Amino acid sequence: MFSLVFHLDDARLPFSSWVGGSVPEFRVYAQNSFVLMFVVGGLTLVWREVRATFLAIGAAGVFIIAAARFLALTGEDGRMQMGSASTTIGNENDLASHLIFVLPFVLYLALDQRINRAFRSLMMLPMAFGVFVIFATASRGGLISLFACFLFVLFRGSTKQRSAAVVIGGVLILAIRFC
C-alpha cells in the first residue's frame, strides 16, 4: 500500500510504503547530532581552520571508504552493506548517504595544491571506489544524489569540469551497462 500521509503513531514518512522507525531515528539525530553541525561550523573562525576541518573530514572519508573495502559484503538482496560493522553505516542507505557526504572532502584532498602531487593522484582510487560502493548499495537516494551532483557540475562548473563530468559520466554508464 502506498501512503502519502505522515503518521507519528506508526512512524511512517511521506511516500513510504512500509512501517519503519524513521521518525524515532530522526528525533534521536535531531536531539544529539544536528546541533554539532552548527558547533563545528561555528568553531572554524579562519580559513586555516576551515582547511584543517576539510582535511580531517577528507581523511575520515578515506578511512570509511577503506573500511567499506574490507568490511562491506553483498547481502541476500544483492546490495552491498556493512552489517558486520554493526554501526549506523551498516545499512545500505546510510552507507551511501555517508559516502555522499564525505566524497567532496576526499575530492578536496585530491585538488588541494598544497598537498604532494603523488598523494593527490592516489586520492582518485578512494573516490572511484566510493562511487562504486554507492552504486553497489543500490540506494535510490545515493543514485539521485550522484545525479544531482552531476547536474550541478554541468550547470555551475567550468568548461574543464564539465568536460571531465561528461567523460566520467560516460565511463560510469558504460561500466553499469557492461557489469
pLDDT at 2: 37
Alpha-carbon torsion 152, 109, 167, 157, what sign? Answer: positive
Q: Which residue has the higher pLDDT, 1 or 162?
A: 162
What is the chain's mean pLDDT, rounded? 79
Q: What's the pTM?
A: 0.73
- What is the pLDDT averaged over residues 4-29? 56
Percent of the chain at pLDDT exceeding 70 = 83
What's the rounded mean pLDDT across residues 65-75? 82
| Annotated domain spans of the chain | 47-178
The reported pLDDT for the residue numbered 62 is 93
Q: Which of 35-44, 100-109, 113-122, 140-149 has the lowest mean pLDDT?
A: 35-44
Q: Please give the full DSSP string across the chain, using - where no structure is assigned.
A: ----S-BTTTTB-TT--S--SHHHHHHHHHHHTHHHHHHHHHH--SHHHHHHHHHHHHHHHHHHHHHHHHH-EE-TTS-EE-GGG-SGGGSHHHHHHHHHHHHHHHHHHHH-TTS-HHHHHHTHHHHHHHHHHHHHTT-HHHHHHHHHHHHHHHHHS-HHHHHHHHHHHHHHHHHHHH-
Predicted pLDDT of residue 88:
67
Per residue in 77-107, pLDDT (tens digit) is 777 777 666 566 767 788 888 889 899 999 8
